[in-house]
Amino acid sequence: MNEFAEPVSFFRLILKNAFSNLGIRIIGVLMAFGLNIYMAQYYGAGGIGSLVLLIALVEVGALLVKCGFNISLVKWIPEHLTNYSFASAATIFRKCFLIILWVGLALGILIFFTSDIINNTFFKGDISRLGFIRLAAILILISACTDYFKDSLRGLKKINQSSLLENILPVSIQWISLAILTYWFFEKNNPLYSYIIALFISGIAGLFFLKKFFEKSNSNEKIFHQSSLLLFKNALPFYIIALAQIILLYSDSLILGFFRNEKEVGLFNISFRVAGYTSFMLAAMNTIAAPVFSELYHAGKMEELRTTVQKTARFTAWISLPVYIIILSWGKNVLSLFGEEFVPAYFPLVCVATGQFINAYSGSVGNLLMMTSHHNAVRNIHIVSALLNIVLSFLLVPHYGINGSAVSTMISVIVANVLSTWVVRKKFGYYIFLGSGNS
């Protein structure tokens, strides 16, 4: 048999699931794109900016609640299924979920009753932001549970269900609720209300998707028990990685909100979302690739792992290139679809898209390292990148606004990918984006 027959099958497994997942993602992206245009035309950059600030507060709070367990389960569930049993995987799922519930309740109550202090410290006592903070305190636990369900489904390789929960359902509910609210009860906070409705329904749907997961577990199967303290310790690197990722994702919006206004936050958010289409295929591939990388590594199939990650990287790079060229050539036309007030966001769009193209070209470097027990290296890289982003944002945003945010984002993303690529070369002896193992 050809020595590459088995590795190719793993790549085809990722490709098959990625394209199955891609259809769902394309529908979700088109719906989200249309939703952003709808919000931009009816509620303007200020309306989008208010929504982004609320989402940023909720996501930061939810990150603290999840304790890194959601990312950890993408690695732990395949490990337990391979080495122990389905019951063992179900047990660790339930244990982490109970921890999230208690932490979420405690943090939500704490934030709600200290909202005045938080507002005075981070938002200069702006009374309009106080409502955002209190609302975020209520929504944090729901957001954390929804993310936990989504990533648990990824660990089970239930990719379509996970993608529906992430890409289709929330946007669909937002579309329906916002259209109804706009038609019958038009007011500036309608985008916030539609987001809240979508978040609640998505959380309920996630629990429904995982119902069979609870039912299948058999207490007579081999179960590997871990203490809560050990779970926290093992999840800590993933927790720090997730914290750094959230900082990279939302620090620009929060710092813009601190120094500027909701309109600039809205302009930057639209350019950020459009630029994200550059690495669209990478996101689709990563959804299935992470558990496959974990399975190959823990089975000792290192050659299969190398071939699989390299083929995945080359494929995503070629798919991302034409999207990047389109953004460079016709970016202003794309932004004009949201309204003429968004056209000045072309420079931020190009900067962020450049960073995302480098991200796609580098391949699944972060996923490979995290799924192969090198999460400490990823943690350190993300800490450096997040701190760099914060420092650059504080230096640039006061003087250059959204352009400063875009430059800081681009530099941070490029630095993270260069460092990750170097670590992969050091640990595994090859570059992901090259075909030769000795390169």
The pLDDT of residue 171: 92
DSSP letter assigned to residue 168 = I
Q: Quick one: how far is CA 8 from the chain centroid? A: 28
CA–CA gap between residue 68 and residue 234 (Å, rounded): 9
Q: How many CA atoms lie within 13 A of 40 on its CB side?
A: 23
Place of tokens 């109550």: 109
Per-residue exposure over 392-416, b if at least 16 CB sit within 10 Å of its own CB, e if not? bbeebbeeebbbbbbbbbbbbbbbb
Q: How far apart are CA 412 and CA 357, in angstroms?
A: 13
Alpha helix (H) residue ranges in 114-227: 115-122, 127-155, 159-163, 169-184, 190-209, 211-216
3-state class of 403 per DSSP?
A: helix
**pLDDT score recorded for residue 32:** 87
Shortest CA distance to 19 belongs to which of 281, 274, 279?
A: 281
Alpha helices, DSSP H, located in 299-364: 302-336, 346-362
Residue 321 to residue 278: CA distance in whole angstroms: 8
CB 388 within 8 A of CB 411: yes
Could you say which DSSP state residue 164 is in?
Answer: I
Nearest CA to 156 out of 251, 71, 89, 239 is that of 89
Distances (CA, A) of 110 to 90, 199, 212, 290: 30, 21, 34, 35
Ordered per-residue pLDDT tens for the chain, 439 residues: 333 334 445 566 665 665 666 677 778 878 988 898 888 888 888 778 878 878 888 888 898 899 888 878 877 887 777 777 777 888 888 889 999 999 999 999 999 999 888 878 766 656 667 877 888 899 999 999 999 998 888 878 777 788 788 888 999 999 999 999 998 988 888 998 999 999 999 999 988 888 766 666 555 667 777 777 888 888 887 788 777 777 777 788 788 878 887 788 888 888 988 988 888 777 767 766 777 787 778 777 788 888 878 887 888 888 889 989 999 999 999 999 888 888 989 999 999 999 999 988 888 788 788 778 787 888 889 889 989 999 999 999 999 999 999 999 999 999 999 999 899 888 888 877 654 444 4
Six-digit token string for 344: 């000045």
pLDDT score recorded for residue 400: 92
* Amino acid of residue 434: L
Alpha-carbon Rg for the chain, nearest whole angstrom, is 21
Domain ranges of the chain: 5-428
C-alpha pair distances (Å), 404 with each of 133, 349, 427? 26, 12, 35
Is 435 within 8 Å of 380 (Cβ atoms)? no
pLDDT score for 437: 41
Spatial separation of the C-alpha atoms in residues 223 and 230, rounded to whole Å = 16
